[in-house]
Structure 1
Amino acid sequence: MSPALRIGATSFALIAVCYGFARFAFGLFLPQIDRELGLGASLSGFISGGSFAGYCVTIIASALLTERFGARAVATAASLVAAIGMAGIALAPTPVLLAIAVMVAGSSTGLASPPLAAAVAEAVRRNRQDTTNTGINAGTSAGVALSGPIALAIAGEWRLAFAAYAAVALALAVAAMLALPGVRGDSRADGLFPLAGPVMRLICATFMMGAASTALWSFGGELVSQNLEWRTVGTGLLWTCIGAGGIAGGCAGMLVARCGLDRVHRAFLGLMAVGILTVGMDSGSAAVALVGGTVFGAAYIMLTGVYLVWGTGALPDRPATGLMVGFLVLAIGQSAGAPLFGLLMEEVGAAPAVAGFATIALLAGIFRAGSPATRRSQSQDSNDAGLPRAAGG
């Protein structure tokens, strides 16, 4: 196996475990966790938001740590943090300890992204890095898709599921230690970047999309449990459909090159809104909910790929920082969105909350990345400078 393929496969698996298992599987098992620990919608939202908040802190720390200690060390640490957090979820006896464990597990995603940026920049040719990065980004969907069958196989035993996820994360820590290079980041990425133009529009769009996405990431299992009286089998199938749909997001780089970033952005925000509505509204149809989940998964991963390309184009001389800005603000939006959705669900009901968050997704389309000519020029400037592009999920 070539070094590039080995790094790509390990990075894809790391994103799958950290995002699909450690960060998003909480929403899959929320109905079972709620029944055992008595969380309630508001507390569930704050716990889920805490996971996203942990990401916000660690993605900044990870960029600095990668500069200091290299890609291999930080990526291995991400796997270990995921394992510790998921083991904590499996053992949590109270809502407070569960909240701490969920935050630790979710923080692993922030640790994972910057070292993968450095690893891809070291091993992959510049003209293949966007495609490689968006392919690795689709690892989130693989993890989500796998978490559904695991839930079905163990009949919704959420503690056993998170224990199994923790074991997988430990094994991946060994793989990361063996496969990833010790390359360090580019020291030219230090200092403050200009908060204007495309960067500010990126911040606004990612915040709104991140907030909207929590309607399903944090409450999808709860919504179908209420609307369709689904138990473990139904919610497991929904998660599998979300993950399977998201595999299409690996094509984000190619689709943006063909159709333009703004068109792809608006189209998939529309599809995200459709997915939120079809899963969250009480249609009475299992088939409609599962199709909606598939659409949501495809839209979410495609949009994260769009923001990856947008961020690296907005800061062409600092592409890794551009990715960090987009994904950091996306998580900030999720940190704010999860508790807000939980409060709305308790105060006004599920249907108005779902409709409101679908509208937020649509409104994110107001913000444009810029003209195609500008993006082509930025991309060429980045290639001419020989600077690395970023990877993440």
Structure 2
Amino acid sequence: MSPALRIGATGFALIAVCYGFARFAFGLFLPQIDGELGLGPSISGLISGGSFAGYCVAIVASAILTERLGARAVAVGAALVAAIGMAGIALAPSPLILACAVVVAGSSTGLASPPMAAAVAAAVQEGRQDLTNTVINAGVSAGVALSGPIALAITGQWRLAFGAFAAVALILAIASAISLPASRGGNRAGGLPPMNGPVVRLICASFLMGAASTALWSFGGQLVSERMGWGPTGTGLLWTCIGLGGISGGLAGTLVGRFGLDRVHWAFLGLMAASIPMVGFGLGSVPTLVGGAVFGAAYVMLTGVYLVWGTHALPDRPATGLMVGFLTIAVGQTAGAPLFGLVNAGFGAGPAVTCFAGIALLAGAFRARSTGEMHRGRSSSSACS
């Protein structure tokens, strides 16, 4: 088996389990968990805030540890953290312990991505790195798409579900130890990344995209409930469509190689901007579900674009390059969610949806390469030829 296929398959599965099971499955089982353990508003707030904080701390720590310990050790650690967290959820006797376990499980998402970027840089030939990275990143959507049917198939058995998820994570820890290289995939660096032009523009673009995405990630269920009268089944179907659409994000590397980062960036920001009103305006069942699939494809494709952008901006520090974009997306989501809520409360859902579609388009103002950088690149190519 080629390194690209071996690392790609392992990374895809690891990302799917960490995101789809360790992080997002909790929301699907929340009504059952609440019915048994009686979660109150304070514990729910602790879980929400703690999940974000855990992700941010974990992804920064992962980038640092990957540069020091290597891809294999950190990826195995991510799978073990997911297993421990999900086992804790399955065995939790009280709301507080449950909250702690959810935060631990969710932090595995931050740990998992940087070592995969380093593994790809270390062992995959350069021409296949972008494709391999974006295929791995598409595991997010596979996990989201799988978690919905699993939740429906074992309704009422949330402890059994999380116990099984923990077992799968343990298997992936073994697979990561066998399949991934120990190398760091770059120079042993440290500290903050250089704030050069591509990195600054990456931060701006990913922040705005992250903020725009909260229109559906945070409020999509509420919007379809209010505008369409959909209950949990309809919302679950929307989420499945988002997950299935996002699997196409694995093509980001291929599209970037053919059309360039900026063209792919602009195209999928446009699709995200279109998908937000398709879901948020309540135009009917078919447009809403199609909008969900388009949103999923656009979101995962754009995270793939920022992954490639970051690893190209910091080629000697691929784990840190990935971390910059993904961390900034999360910060943008943290800022975007309360802003959407304020606009929604003050002006209504229609203006809020329109405003956030505009924010998605605004992210397109930031290019992966400036005009001067592209000119220098062409001059270098001419000199070499």
Regarding TM over 0.5, the answer is: yes
Q: For residues 79-228 of structure 1, what are the structure 2 equivalents within 5 Å?
A: 79-90=79-90, 97-155=97-155, 160-228=160-228
Matches of 2:30 and 2:346, distance apart in 1: 19
Contact 1:156/1:232, CA 8 A, preserved across alignment: no
Distance 1:263 1:91 in 2: 48
The percentage of aligned residue pairs carrying the same residue is 73
Instruction: Summarize the Cα distance change of 1:287–1:140 in structure 2 as closer, same or farther, 3 Å threshold.
Output: same
> Kindly tell me: are residues 67 and 188 of structure 1, through their superposed partners in 2, closer, same or farther at Cα, counting changes over 3 Å?
closer
**Structure 2 CA distance for aligned equivalents of residues 280 and 162 of structure 1:** 32
Is the contact made by 1:47 and 1:102 (CA closer than 8 Å) also made in structure 2? yes
Summarize deviations over 1:237-256 as a string: whole Å, max 9, x none. 22221111112111112212
Paired residue secondary structure (1:189): coil
CA distance in 2, matches of 1:44, 1:273: 30
Q: Distance in 1 between matches of 2:153 and 2:370?
A: 49
Amino acid of the residue matched to residue 323 of structure 2? M
- Cα distance change on mapping 1:112 and 1:29 into 2, 3 Å: same
For the 8 Å contact 2:68–2:188, the answer to whether it is kept is no
1:389 alignment partner in structure 2: none
Q: Which amino acid aligns with 1:79?
A: A
* C-alpha spacing 1:260/1:70, structure 2 compared with 1 (3 Å): closer
Distance (whole Å) between structure 2 residues aligned to residue 286 and residue 349 of structure 1 = 21
- The residue correspondences of 1:357-376 to structure 2 (distance < 5 A) are 357-371=356-370, 374=373
Does the alignment pair 1:23 with 2:23?
yes
Q: Which moved more, 1:355-364 or 1:120-129?
A: 355-364
Distance 2:374 2:40 in 1: 46
Aligned partners of 2:335 and 2:103: how far apart in 1? 14
Higher relative contact order (CA 8 A, sep 6+): 1
Which residue pairs with 2:383 in the alignment? none
- CA separation in 2, counterparts of 1:169 and 1:72? 15
Q: In 2, Cα distance between the equivalents of 1:364 and 1:43?
A: 35
| CA displacement at 1:338 relative to structure 2 | 3.7
Would you say 1:60 and 2:60 are equivalent positions?
Answer: yes
- For structure 1, the residue ranges without an aligned partner over 5 or more in a row are 382-393
Q: 1:214 to 1:38 in 2, by over 3 A?
A: farther
Partners in 1 of 2:50 and 2:223 — Cα distance? 20
Contact persistence 2:186–2:316 (CA under 8 A): no
Unpaired segments ≥5 residues, structure 2: 381-385
Residue 260 of structure 2 aligns with an amino acid whose one-letter code is: G
Could you tell me which residue of structure 1 aligns to residue 310 of structure 2? 311
Query: Which stretch of the first structure deviates more once superposed, 69-78 or 310-319?
Result: 310-319
8 Å contact kept, 2:212–2:357: yes
Output the CA distance in 1 between the equivalents of 2:43 and 2:209: 22
The one-letter amino acid of 1:335's match is T
Cα pair 2:43 2:99 within 8 Å, conserved = no
Which AA in structure 1 matches 2:71? Answer: A
Alignment root-mean-square deviation, CA? 3.3
Deviation at 1:183, TM superposition (A): 2.2
Q: Please tell me the residue identity of whatever aligns with 2:7.
A: I
Asked if the contact 2:279/2:291 (under 8 Å) is kept, the reply is yes
C-alpha contact 2:215 2:356 (8 A) present in aligned 1: yes
Q: What is the distance in 2 between the residues matched to 1:239 and 1:279?
A: 12
Q: Measure how far apart 1:12 and its partner are.
A: 0.9
Shift of 1:280: 2.9
Specify whether residues 155 and 377 from structure 1 end up closer, same or farther in structure 2 by C-alpha distance, changes over 3 A only.
farther
Instruction: State the alpha-carbon separation in 1 of the partners of residues 215 and 81 from structure 2.
Output: 26
Corresponding letter in the other structure for 2:322 = L
Kindly provide the amino acid, as one letter, of the partner of residue 327 in structure 1.
Answer: F
Report SS of the residue matched to 2:181: coil
The secondary structure found in structure 2 opposite 1:144 is helix
2:330 maps to which residue? 331
Structure 2 Cα separation of the partners of residues 302 and 207 of structure 1: 15
Structure whose CA Rg is larger: 2
Cα distance change of structure 1 residues 88 and 45 upon mapping to structure 2, 3 Å threshold: same
Inter-CA distance 370–343: structure 2 relative to 1 (3 Å threshold): same
**Alpha-carbon shift at residue 79 of structure 1 (Å):** 1.1
Cα deviation for residue 125 of structure 1 reads 1.0
Equivalenced residues, count: 379
Matched, 1:263 2:263: yes
Going from structure 1 to structure 2, the CA distance change for 1:91 and 1:353 (only over 3 Å counts) comes to farther
Whole-angstrom distance in 2 between the partners of 1:376 and 1:153? 56
Q: What does residue 76 of structure 2 align with? A: 76
1:34-87 deviation per Cα after TM superposition (whole angstroms, max 9, x unaligned): 7875666x9867744542332221112112222333322211111121223334
Determine the structure 1 residue equivalent to 2:294.
295
Partner residue, 2:252? 252
Q: Classify 1:207/1:90 alpha carbon distance in 2 versus 1 (closer, same or farther; 3 Å).
A: farther
TM value normalised by structure 1: 0.83
8 Å Cα contact 2:92/2:98 also seen in 1: yes
| In 2: Cα distance, 1:343 partner to 1:158 partner | 34
